[in-house]
Structure 1
Amino acid sequence: MAGTWSTQTELGAAYALTARQVGTHLAALGLKEGARASEDAVTDGLAREATLRDGTGFFVWHTERVTALLAGRGLTRAPGGAGAPAAGRGAARTAGASGGAPARGAVPADGATRPNGHDRVVATDGSALGNPGPTGWAWVDQTTGETGSGGLAHGTNNIGELLALREALRHAGPEGDLLVRADSQYVINIATRWAVGWRRRGWRKGDGKVPENLEIVQDILVALEAREGRTDFEWVRGHAGDEHNERADALANAAARAARG
């Protein structure tokens, strides 16, 4: 069908809404069921599945027809809200990487912390006793208070940090704008810079060697590129009193100790 197609994030940009808020409206219109477009939406030509180069699927929406339906729900375009945000679907970028205190907006009525208007904010950390040794990973969802952690019998700090990011991305899912707060510049550089270059060179680093922990790195890149909302990263100085970083660190250390047996 003729017309233009937009991601959920791009639709939201036109109305100054987050991807998650647009998703709520699409669900109310019967166009969305969970993370997927409804069968009726696809059959009627309002949504179609697109595919990233790595085969990951996502849905795009018929811009003109869906915009008309959203207008029927009383939504009006924001001034200048015609296109996608500067960092669109699948983009990963750094935010506040100088290591200073994170920029924070107003705290919502539910008490959740959402810096810079992100839908979800997650702190991550990893730990290896002895490095290498028993390894733990953990994430803390600052928005909902949820946590996740796990461990393995033998690994390194970097493996723990990478696993924490991978599992945090799986927890967050593909929709909405996400801020990941990590104390590992190694992990942030992989997510925002290095992994794409390694893939372009056939999964080789500049020195021709295969990147360490390649399978986890590949999982992270797939998860990032499948996201419909923007993904930002903020470096947090470790062991400096940040509540959520300290909690993630404690959970990761506990998981490492448990993995030691």
Structure 2
Amino acid sequence: MVYIMEIYADGGCRGNGQPTAIGAAAAVFKSKYGNYRGWTRPLPSDPTPTNQRAEITAIIVALEQALKKYEELDGRPYLQVKIYSDSKYAVNCMTKWIYKWTRNGWINSRGREVANRDLLEEASDLDENLKEEGDVEYLWIPREENEIADRMCNEEMDNQ
């Protein structure tokens, strides 16, 4: 049996990279009946929130919730997980760059340490755990197709 999960992830930051910045991440599951269920997470103030950290945190929330959902399922179905993000950065991190960076000792093409390594390592570990149960795909979508996750992310920042 195949169990399909469709998850929309979005992160945001107000005051990007400034000492007073706030950020949040959201992950939203779409059920087979078209209903949505979401989770949010505020970004800590240290290190300073950025848009990129928020987007990777949204991927982490999506992966954590997918693993949690899998543990609740009866039996051990084969997973087919699709994570949608309007961040080309986050999608490229998880589909292309992370493999190069791990081979290169987390040094980027400019010879510098990869930014957001802490979050990327966490996302990579979660990704590997989920891939033990099936397929995980990261897909870029236009921002207007990610409205629910975007709204939840903004609401979380409004509450900060």
TM range (shorter): 0.7 to 0.9
Residue 140 (str. 1) matches residue 25 (str. 2): no
2:57 paired residue among 160, 163, 186: 163
Match of 1:250 in 2: 151
1:155 match: secondary structure: coil
Q: 2:101 aligns with which of 192, 198, 217?
A: 198
Higher strand share: 2
CA distance in 2: counterparts of 1:257 and 1:134, whole angstroms = 10
Aligned to 1:178: 81
- Runs of 4+ in structure 1 off by over 6 angstroms are none
Alignment of 1:227-238 (within 5 A): 227=130, 228-238=133-143
Structure 1 letter corresponding to 2:8: A
> How far does residue 225 in structure 1 lie from its aligned partner after superposition?
1.4
RCO higher in structure (CA 8 A, sep ≥6): 2
Compute the displacement of 1:145 (Å): 2.3
Structure 2 counterparts to residues 214-233 of structure 1, below 5 A: 214-227=117-130, 228-233=133-138
Q: Is the 8 A contact 1:151 1:258 kept in 2?
A: no
In the aligned structure 2, how far is the partner of 1:257 from the partner of 1:136? 10
Q: TM-score, normalised on structure 1?
A: 0.51
Which structure shows the higher helix fraction? 2
Deviation at 1:207, TM superposition (A): 1.7
How far apart are 1:249 and its partner, in Å?
Answer: 0.5
Q: Give the deviation of 1:169 after TM superposition.
A: 0.2
Paired position in structure 1 for 2:6:
121
Bigger Rg over Cα: 1
CA distances 1:31-89 after superposition (whole Å, capped 9, x unpaired) = xxxxxxxxxxxxxxxxxxxxxxxxxxxxxxxxxxxxxxxxxxxxxxxxxxxxxxxxxxx
Using the TM superposition, name which of 226-235 and 158-167 deviates more: 226-235
CA distance in 2, matches of 1:131, 1:206: 24
Q: Give 1:1-261 correspondences, 5 Å limit.
A: 17-18=1-2, 20=3, 119-132=4-17, 133-143=21-31, 145-152=36-43, 153=45, 154-173=48-67, 176-227=79-130, 228-238=133-143, 240=144, 242=145, 245-259=146-160
How high is the TM-score relative to the length of structure 2? Answer: 0.82
In structure 2, how many angstroms separate the alpha carbons of the residues matched to 1:129 and 1:206?
A: 29
Number of residues of Structure 1 aligned to a counterpart in Structure 2: 140
Shift in Å, 1:258: 2.2
- Report SS of the residue matched to 1:205: coil
1:146 counterpart SS class? strand
5+ residue gaps, structure 2: 71-77
Which secondary structure does the structure 2 equivalent of 1:165 belong to? helix
Within 2, Cα distance between the matches of 1:251 and 1:145?
A: 11
Shift of 1:146: 1.7
Contact 1:198 1:204 in 2 (8 A): yes
Paired with 1:222 and 1:197, the residues of 2 have a C-alpha distance of 16
Structure 1 stretches of 5 or more lacking a match? 1-16, 21-118
